[in-house]
Structure 1
Amino acid sequence: MPSLTDAKLQELSSQIAVDVLTKTQDVDNVAKLEEVSRSFVSDTLTIPAPEMVAYAARASLGDDVYFEPSTAVLEAHIAQLTGKEAGLFLPTGTMSNQIALRTHLLQPPYSVICDARSHIYRMEGGGMAFHSGANSVAVAPSNGHHLTLEDIEPEAIMGTDVHIAPTRVIALENTLNGTIIPQDEIVRISSWAHQKDMKMHLDGARIWHVAAETGLSLKELCGPFDSASLCLSKGLGAPIGTCLVGSKQFITKARWFRKVFGGGMRQTGYLAGAAAYALTHNFPLLPRVHALAKRMQQGLEELGVDILSPAETCMLFYDPYPIGVEYWEIVERAAALLKPIKLTGSRLLLHIQTSPQAIEDFLELVRTLKEEKVAAGWTLANAGPRRRPPNVYVKAVRPSA
């Protein structure tokens, strides 16, 4: 085979080369931070601060499928923090939850009990069925806030009836849509589940918010669970990553499934460094986020807007119908402001980069819309009452002409 000439190599190289940076990349990044600070869509939109990037760039340079030093330190730290024996760094919370279930669920048939509103049930692409062949038993909390043992026990499947798949795992989410499950209720559920030889899994994507709001340690919050998934890219603002924790035996098998799921990563030191910076510097910012969420709730209540789910931590759900306004009207008018605000519907989610001024601008917009409706003769008495279900996301949709 003829050897590659310098000219041919140069030609191929010019075809392959790419520059992903814009001509104004630094300015664009500053503008992006401004956009994120005025978005109430998700805390996944947060961007790494320059200090985070600088710290992460100094992390180790190993291959995590073999061994990556900085990643191993992060895994061990989060395991120790949560009172577990071992940890496993994963790219996403969805993968972490699904690998946890796949590791717990040994031999079908089996079923998993979870909250009907939970991410693991509604937002992970049917992963329980796809990856584990598990039946989902989705339970709605009778109190409208959180599952209790009284909700779960009647839905648990035990015995030898061949028509139904026995319950093997109870999966709870804390926070769930921003609300906190009382720890004493989690302990009750866990004690009962373990007596019945069931496993407990925690989707703790925003468990950091629970710790920041209640003062409970991560060890206490995760103690009732056999496994827990802790997201690093939501409330804490790391660019990517979730840590799954459990026993050594559990994590050994989970690491195997990570490879099967395609989650084995290479040079993850940079990501571990960013996560470590987030744990150290961003966790203390969470109480401020909670205060901003409470300020938003207060402002909406003063305007007569319905609060469907209160601001216990970083988010709230609202319904503007009592003042004659639809979600789509708010979304469109917010996007048209001189300094736009990004919204999607009933959920308002705040984060460590949220601008306090954006909250005041949002409340002023809602006030303006209310005044316009009143001037047009709108009254709630004429329209009739409407109550949206609590804690359920409703997307803003403009009606067809």
Structure 2
Amino acid sequence: MASDLQQRRESLIVQAKIDVNLANDNEVIIHTVSRSFASDTITVPTKEMYQYALLSSLGDDVYEEPSTIRLQNHVAKLFGKEAALFVSSGSMSNQIALRAHLTQPPHSLLCDVRAHIHCYEAGGAAYHSQAAVTAVMPSNGHHLTAEDVKKHLVVIDDVHFAPTRVIALENTLNGCIFPQEEILAISELAKLHGIRMHLDGARIWHVAAETGTPLAELAEPFDSISCCFSKGLGAPVGSCLIGTKEFIHRARWLRKLFGGAMRQTGILAGSAAYALSNNLQLLPGVHDLTKKLEKGLIDLGCIITSPAETCMVFYDPSPLELSYDEIQERAAQLPDPIKTGGSRLVVHIQTSPQMIDDFLNLLKTLATEKGVELPAKPKRVNGEMDPRDIYVRVSKAKKA
């Protein structure tokens, strides 16, 4: 009997064994990442990041995890707030924030119609917070204004409507920087009506790097802020939710409710800390590379539908008689393939500058094959033409 039990145990042990060590594939993966416009979330941890992360503490974050606590305290101070909470993703951070603010329906959330909270979080505001969403199209095509917000706020005492309880802004949105003066104007409007302000600042690092504005200043108008370490900064996992001590206490409770409480998070906190300490300085170079890509698209005759203010550019290749599917198919067939999606091209800290040149050359080749006459070099004033000027003129032309 004992012998039979031992055999079954040994069989179970053999069946349970698995080898997921695929380190030999990593060089290929790193190269593939360097030639992809898909997103900045695809960046991979470097050996230096992992080496630093291995020095982190080994505590349990449901109780107290020293490295994670140190990261949270540092991030809270960096953003000028009292406390912060490490969570697994930006979507979780946003949804916990909304649920912490929205305690009792009926209530509604106001945001940009293109916002991540509205479009890409699986209807979380309705599911988790029972909130209606007022999704507003910016009248200027770039960012919400105080006037846009004012027109759509629900502040009347009428049983037919769900009152606006939270205004959620995103900075950057589609890679574009939300002007701080407009955020302040919206904040004043929110204060007037007792409405909470939440910032989806997944890529707020880009705003700070491009404008030189301190993170605490960018965060000041908001009651809560979400920032992401895996978008832009290159950490493998993690975001922080930031606010008052009381707010973060409730957020920690909700994180548990959502199933987001984690155990040994030290290695993740270490990776995030390394990314924040070493990769923030790389973002201006990312912005320069994105603007180089934008200039190349303009020179070929493409329409810029959303400008390269930080790490993204949106384009329309129809003037070259090309579709996104054609471009994607041919890019994948290159000797050194390039991964593209649709209209959005994302540049990140591990993007290869060579890919930018290769992509622009591909568009030129495809257009030439179709017999499209490429434009002459655009005329420039004092040797310069601001792509944003082209974006504005194209946008006006399309509206007309």
Give the TM-score, by structure 2 length.
0.92
Q: Would you say the 8 A contact 1:334–1:340 is kept in 2? A: yes
Give the secondary structure class of the aligned counterpart of 1:273. Answer: helix
Q: Match for residue 212 of structure 2?
A: 215
Q: How does 1:204-243 map to 2 (within 5 A)?
A: 204-243=201-240
1:138 CA displacement: 0.3
Report the Cα distance in structure 1 between the residues aligned to 2:78 and 2:3, rounded to whole angstroms: 57
Report the Cα distance in structure 2 between the residues aligned to 1:35 and 1:123, rounded to whole angstroms: 25
Q: Would you say the 8 A contact 1:97–1:120 is kept in 2? A: yes
Q: Which one of 333, 337, 344 corresponds to residue 336 of structure 1? A: 333
Q: Would you say the 8 A contact 1:324–1:378 is kept in 2? A: no
Q: Match for residue 295 of structure 1?
A: 292
Report the Cα distance in structure 1 between the residues aligned to 2:115 and 2:157, rounded to whole angstroms: 28
Unpaired segments of 5 or more residues in structure 2? 376-393, 396-400
Give the secondary structure class of the aligned counterpart of 2:371. Answer: helix
Report the Cα distance in structure 2 between the residues aligned to 1:150 and 1:363, rounded to whole angstroms: 39
Report the Cα distance in structure 2 between the residues aligned to 1:274 and 1:6, rounded to whole angstroms: 42
Q: Match for residue 253 of structure 1?
A: 250
Query: Per-residue CA shift, 1:179-228, capped at 9, x if unaligned?
Result: 00100110111111012100000000000000000000000000000000
Q: Match for residue 185 of structure 1?
A: 182
| One-letter amino acid of the structure 2 residue matched with residue 88 of structure 1 | L
Q: Does 1:59 align with 2:56?
A: yes
Query: Per-residue CA shift, 1:3-44, capped at 9, x if unaligned?
Result: 98443322110011111124xx33x10110100000001001
Give the secondary structure class of the aligned counterpart of 2:242. Answer: strand
Q: Percent identity?
A: 59
| One-letter amino acid of the structure 2 residue matched with residue 255 of structure 1 | R
Q: Which one of 165, 172, 175 corresponds to residue 168 of structure 1? A: 165
Q: Would you say the 8 A contact 2:61–2:263 is kept in 1? A: yes
Q: How does 1:18-57 map to 2 (within 5 A)?
A: 18-22=18-22, 25-26=23-24, 28-57=25-54
Residue correspondences, number: 378
Report the Cα distance in structure 1 between the residues aligned to 2:232 and 2:3, rounded to whole angstroms: 54
Q: Alpha carbon RMSD of aligned pairs, Å?
A: 1.7
Q: Would you say the 8 A contact 2:301–2:374 is kept in 1? A: no
Q: Match for residue 129 of structure 2?
A: 132
Give the TM-score, by structure 1 length.
0.92
1:378 CA displacement: 11
Report the Cα distance in structure 1 between the residues aligned to 2:8 and 2:341, rounded to whole angstroms: 51
Runs in 1 of length 4+ with deviation above 2 angstroms? 1-9
Q: Which one of 83, 107, 118 corresponds to residue 80 of structure 2? A: 83
Query: Per-residue CA shift, 1:220-242, capped at 9, x if unaligned?
Result: 00000000000000100100000
| One-letter amino acid of the structure 2 residue matched with residue 174 of structure 1 | N
1:2 CA displacement: 6.4
Report the Cα distance in structure 2 between the residues aligned to 1:3 and 1:71, rounded to whole angstroms: 47
1:145 CA displacement: 0.3
Unpaired segments of 5 or more residues in structure 1? 380-388, 391-401
Report the Cα distance in structure 2 between the residues aligned to 1:131 and 1:263, rounded to whole angstroms: 14
